[in-house]
């Protein structure tokens, strides 16, 4: 897997969420379960970053992220939403894919490189479509890891 971040197979899940707070809660849950992290601290970090401005990336994707002391290298999760949700993205489009990224508190450049790698992936219309249409979370994980590995090569 990409050396920029850890990406566990169980960090991909499908969820039904009605609004941004529910998405952040589900994302904190997925990150905390997948990487054995304190749920409340993860949620607090994501919420604090979101207060600075929406992490709605555009084109149906959000990328909530935070720097916290709980991780020693960046970790990633992906939520595939059952129905698109307004996330306050600059383009006004609701999101159907939510990537979560947690990086160590002092990981300035590493955090930015991980964000850039994810944003490159989600700008690809074919990858976005495949992630939405994947028949299950395992298929979405496999497709995404293949894409990340190709991008890193």
Read off φ and ψ for residue 137, nearest 5 degrees.
-70, -35
Instruction: For 8-25, write each residue's pLDDT tens digit.
Output: 999 999 999 999 999 999
- Residues 118, 76: Cα–Cα separation, whole Å: 9
Q: What is the phi/psi pair of residue 23, to 5°?
A: -65, -45
Q: How confident is the model at residue 106 (pLDDT cuts 50, 70, 90)?
A: confident
CB atoms inside a 10 Å sphere around CB 143: 16
**Per residue in 125-151, pLDDT tens?**
888 888 989 999 999 999 888 876 665
Per-position DSSP letters for 70-82, written without gaps between them: T-SS-EEEEEEEE
Query: In this predicted structure, what is the pLDDT of residue 48?
Result: 96
If one counts every other C-beta atom within 10 angstroms of the C-beta of residue 106, the result is 9
Indicate the pLDDT class of residue 93, thresholds 50, 70 and 90. very high
Q: What is the pLDDT of residue 1?
A: 41
pLDDT number for residue 57: 85
Convert the pLDDT of each residue in 23-47 to its tens digit: 999 999 999 999 999 999 999 999 9
Q: In the CATH hierarchy, which top-level class contains the domain 9-152? A: alpha beta
**pLDDT at residue 153 greater than cutoff 70:** no
Cβ neighbors of 43 (< 8 A, separation 6 or more) are 24, 25, 28
What pLDDT is recorded for position 147?
Answer: 75
User: Residue 127: helix, strand or coil by DSSP?
Assistant: helix
- Over 80: is that where the pLDDT of 117 sits? yes
Residue boundaries of the structural domains of the chain: 9-152
Q: Which residues are catalytic?
A: 65
Angle at 4 between CA 146 and CA 140, to 5 degrees: 30
What is the per-residue DSSP string for 33-61? HHHT--HHHHHHHHHHHHHTS--EEETTE
pLDDT at position 149: 66
Tens of pLDDT, residues 42-61:
999 999 999 999 999 888 99
| Mean of pLDDT values over 74-78 | 96
Beta bridge partners, 99, equal 78
What percentage of the chain carries pLDDT values higher than 90? 68
């Amino acid at each position: 897997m990409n050396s920029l971040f850890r990406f566990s197979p169980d960090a991909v899940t499908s969820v039904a969420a009605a609004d941004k707070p529910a998405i952040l809660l589900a994302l904190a849950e997925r990150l905390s379960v997948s990487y054995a992290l304190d749920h409340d601290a993860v949620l607090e970090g994501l919420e604090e970053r979101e207060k600075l401005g929406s992490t709605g990336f555009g084109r149906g994707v959000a990328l909530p992220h935070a720097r916290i002391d709980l991780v020693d290298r960046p970790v990633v999760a992906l939520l595939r939403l059952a129905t698109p949700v307004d996330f306050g993205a600059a383009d006004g489009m609701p999101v159907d894919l939510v990537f979560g990224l947690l990086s160590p508190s002092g990981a300035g450049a590493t955090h930015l490189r991980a964000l850039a790698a994810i944003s490159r992936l989600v700008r690809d219309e074919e990858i976005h479509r495949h992630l939405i249409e994947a028949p299950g979370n395992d298929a979405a994980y496999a497709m995404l890891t293949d894409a990340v590995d190709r991008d890193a090569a």
